Homo-oligomer: A and B are copies of this chain.
Amino acid sequence: MTWQEICKEKKAHQLDGVPKEWLASDVPPATHLSVIDYPRQTKVLSPLDLEITDSTVATLLANLASSQWSSVQVTTSFYKRAIVAQQLTNCLTEIFVDRALARAKELDEHLAKTGKVVGALHGLPISLKDQIGIKGIESCMGYVSWVGKVVEKNSALVDILESLGAVPFVKTNIPQTLMWPETFNHVFGRTSNPYNRSLTSGGSSGGEGALIALKGSPLGVGSDIGGSVRIPAAFCGIYGFRSSYNRIPYAGCANSMEGQDSVHSVLGPMSNTLDGIKTFYKAVSSERPWLKDAMVIRKPWSEEEYKLVDHGNGGKLCFAIMWDDGVIAPHPPIRRGLEITKMRYWPQVIKPYKQAEITHTIGAIWAAGAAEDFKTAAAPSGEPVISSMGIESQAEDPELSFRPTDPPGKDPTSAFELWQIQKKRRDLRQEYLEHWADTVSQTGTGRPVDAIISPVAPYTAPPHGLNKFAQYTMTWNLLDYPALVVPVSKVDQAADVKQPRSEFYTDDDRENYELYNPATYENAPISIQVVGRTMEDEAVIAMSEIVDEALRKTESGTKKSKF
């Protein structure tokens, strides 16, 4: 078979196991851009399905534990909504209804028999990015060459999730190579943004972003090496957490650029509520994941750090806003998102520090072996390595696309040259530590700033193929800072007008400025990220809760915040 035939065949059978009655027959046409409210309209979902799928993770877990809702019921409701989401945005890869419902039934029976839940996630359906290995299911990751290769052993995370009582029920779409901040591959196609289908869902965890925004999953797991959890979370208006390296187990997952030991990809939770993020992180990190994955740091969930012992017990926090990185100025909606967040605090401004150098360094580390890695994975089937996330017409112009992983020169980078780049990374981490520590003189708390509030991207979700600048997320990956995305509002054409500007930091800055017009971005979510220092994961969750609560309070008082 040609690679195209393999793709066609795989895609043709994607919905094979899905009951016919779960398929909506009145799906809006592609020209209908916002589909975020469609699940409420389709007859596929019953009032109970809607009640369940609209619930927070905390409510779901409580009602599952009390047997008010069975896991079979909850899993079925989310499955139905996930299939609707698939019809609307093409967000799924693997679908395994029978298996998931059988697992749910086992959990229900266990609870009925013993009166006890299996673990902290008892009965909860959970969606997983395609790369996360589940025994017996494929993880082709959008590579045609890998289609049909069934995973032989659960990944460490899936083992832990199952021991906690979770029900993995769908896998979600990604870009080929994982190294794009959008979501398109030859096997499964493109995932769109449910708020505006002419816009990207972001990537590489774009399937999770679209699925969770449509409430087709209460909790999902993505991965992030340069923004791949946070970009789709921000573009799709949900919460997403890039934790520090090696806290959540990665062993047993498919991946790109394996063996790259300097800037690690991390798995991270995505959810409609912060309680979903915290519940996942606390549950997984409390399960001694270092006994399952040799790379995981022996550091269990710290309730002390969550209570902000190192941040004045949360009493008077001082956040610093990074309005602009001095390389690419954010679009008006992003600036408004920061303004809304600022209203509730007494924030300092943190000066950008060597942002261009940081971006260059992380890009160069990836580029050192990326081209060869991608080629090696794609070659066996004959499919080309994708060179653009644009729709067909854009794909012709490689300049239009974001390619963080192009090799810097023609010769392959040598190991010694890579060491020099990695040395630069270490130095930048050390310098940024000192840069952060130096803020102690400005805060009035006796501490340096407690967290940084930063844009997630210089724009809200752009049209497909135009997500070119990922430095607002990549920065924190290079520094290994935990960062949690919190939704703030949505683009409002009246509020987010384009301002004239005649001077630009860089050509990229000008290009980005020209990209903006309010109509294109209508309805796109606006988000910020709360950034802490390395391994302050628990504190970042706690500080995000404080920010989030403040933002939700303004919800009723001001039109500026819509979530």
Interface on A for B, CB 8 Å cutoff?
251, 257-262, 290-291, 293-295, 297-299, 368-369, 372-373, 412-426, 429-430, 432-433, 437, 479, 533-536
Contacts and interface: CB of A to CB of B under 8 A. Distances in A.
A262 B258 CA distance: 12
B416 A368 contact: yes
Nearest to A375: B416
Nearest to A250: B426
Contact of A415 (B290, B414, B437): B414
Contact of A430 (B294, B422, B430): B294
B298 A259 contact: no
A416 B372 contact: yes
B432 A294 contact: yes
B535 A298 contact: yes
Contact of A437 (B291, B297, B418, B433): B291
Nearest to A260: B419
Contacts of A262: 261
A412 B251 CA distance: 30
A48 B1 CA distance: 87
A152 to B, nearest CB: 14
Contacts of A368: 415-416
Contact of A294 (B251, B418, B421, B534): B534
Given A369-B419, A422-B260, A422-B261, A430 B297 contact: no
Main secondary structure of the interface of A (DSSP, over half): helix
B412 A416 contact: yes
Contacts of A419: 257-261, 369, 373
Number of copies: 2
Nearest to A292: B433
10 contacts: A259-B425, A290-B535, A293-B430, A293-B433, A294-B429, A294-B430, A295-B426, A297-B297, A298-B535, A298-B536
Contacts of A421: 259
Contacts of A291: 433, 437
A389 B368 CA distance: 35
A258 B415 contact: no
Nearest to A258: B423
A248 to B, nearest CB: 15
A420 B369 CA distance: 10
Nearest to A430: B294
Contacts of A413: 414-415
Contacts of A533: 298
A534 B533 CA distance: 23
Nearest to A417: B415
Contact of A295 (B257, B373, B429): B429
A420 B421 CA distance: 18
Contact of A414 (B261, B369, B479, B536): B369
A140 B297 CA distance: 34
A369 B297 contact: no
B418 A259 contact: yes
Nearest to A419: B259
Most buried by B among A251, A259, A425, A432: A259
A25 B531 CA distance: 63
A434 to B, nearest CB: 9
Contacts of A430: 251, 293-295
